[in-house]
Amino acid sequence: MGGNRAVVYNKPGSVEVRNTDYPELVLKDGPGVNPLNVGRKCEHGVILKVVTTNICGSDQHMVRGRTTAPSGLILGHEITGEVIEVGRDVEFIKKGDLVSVPFNIACGRCRSCRERNTNICLNVNPDRPGSAYGYVDMGGWVGGQSEYVMVPYADFQLLKFPDKEKAMEKILDLTMLSDIFPTGYHGAVSAGVRPGSTVYVAGAGPVGLAAAHSAQLLGAAVVIVGDLNAERLAQAKSFGCETVNLREHPNLSEQIDQILGVPEVDCAIDCVGFEASGHGKDHGEAPATVLNSIMEVTRAGGRLGIPGLYVTGDPGAADEDSKVGTLKIRIGLGWAKSHTFVTGQTPVMQYNRDLMMAILSGRAQIAKAVNATLISLDAAPQAYQEFDRGVSRKFVIDPHGLVK
């Protein structure tokens, strides 16, 4: 087989498309690969021809230099592809299958996987539980913003689409199953959204929009989305959300009161994470802002879903505490209000099959909600720049020009 091309992180603010090695069923040494994972044989894996692969806000944290990601790291953990090579130990996945790849890498054999907590698999990352493709400190599994990629534990992990032709007709929706749709849905489920709920979603980026759409699917009466970016708020409003511009109107509880008649919601979802900014026109970065604000506006006994990313290593943080993930959170407020917090990576496999059926049936319109925008592999560096400027799009890379 020939070579491969992939989106590679160079240095803060810089990515480029490079020629790289064609994948094999083994994890080789390279940027970010844990030494204990080098040479790991993956006869339980497959090689995919990538059909679509998306740019994620989590990638953007690395590209901004806000993690310890090494230069040369191949990016991309949102992958949909066609199986073109099958390892010796793969029994049920076949060549030609069109599949969605959960961004969590999971063995299917450890205690966490057996308990459906595939987000904290114990066997794929020597540093700590949990792993992902193309991501810093996640074991070094090669990312999928590329033409071809290797995926381990194929029989356990891969979600096969039942009808390839029909799947391609809805591929811009189905590509969201690898991460942001399950992540937004997990945030809504973790927050306890149910029919009649009032919900506040912090952040109108792609995950926030996915969480808002998920809350609607779960029957929420009112979904309020807050952000500092007017363009992203307009996207949230386009599919029926109420919105709060926290740059223009920094008092969140007052704005919720104007919408609902009371200054609180039943539950809230943090889709911003550690690069949060303070509310108002002149405030800079304040990483605890969202966590503290959602505790303030969520009723006593409410739940907080926190799919927004928080890290243990942030070299770009404003203070020494924040550099190691220590934030000034008002835990006393959360304790006094008996709040429930749910954090961490999303266990994608708990949700992706159900969400696939919601897409195929026409019930879910996630591509429309997040403004899915198709681009070529060569356009990825420019898309990263536009995404960093806050454009309200979810960029979907089509490496082979397969999407009509």
Q: What is the pLDDT along the chain (404 residues), one digit of tens a residue?
A: 569 999 999 999 999 999 999 999 999 999 999 999 999 999 999 999 999 999 999 999 999 999 999 999 999 999 999 999 999 999 999 999 999 999 999 999 999 999 999 999 999 999 999 999 999 999 999 999 999 999 999 999 999 999 999 999 999 999 999 999 999 999 999 999 999 999 999 999 999 999 999 999 999 999 999 999 999 999 999 999 999 999 999 999 999 999 999 999 999 999 999 999 999 988 888 999 999 999 999 999 999 999 999 988 889 888 899 999 999 999 999 999 999 999 999 999 999 999 999 999 999 999 999 999 999 999 999 999 999 999 999 999 999 999 98
At 160, give phi and psi (nearest 5°).
-85, 135
Exposed/middle/buried for 320, CB within 10 Å: 0-12, 13-18, 19+?
exposed
Please list, residue by residue across 224-244, b when 16 or more beta carbons sit within 10 angstroms of its beta carbon and e when fewer do. Answer: bbbbbbeebbebbeeeebbbb
What the block records as the tokens of 102 is 């959960």
Tokens 């489920």 correspond to what residue? 189
> In terms of residues, how long is the chain?
404
Distance in angstroms between the alpha carbons of the first and the last residue of the chain:
26
Contact 133, 142 (CB under 8 A): yes
Helix %, strand %, coil % of the chain (to 5): 30, 25, 45
SS (H, E, C) 174-236: HHHHHCHHHHHHHHHHHCCCCCCCEEEEECCCHHHHHHHHHHHHCCCCEEEEEECCHHHHHHH
Query: What are the structural domains of the chain?
Result: 4-179+347-397 (3.90.180.10), 180-343 (3.40.50.720)
Structure tokens at 394: 């979810």
CA–CA distance, 26 with 42 (Å, rounded to integer)? 5
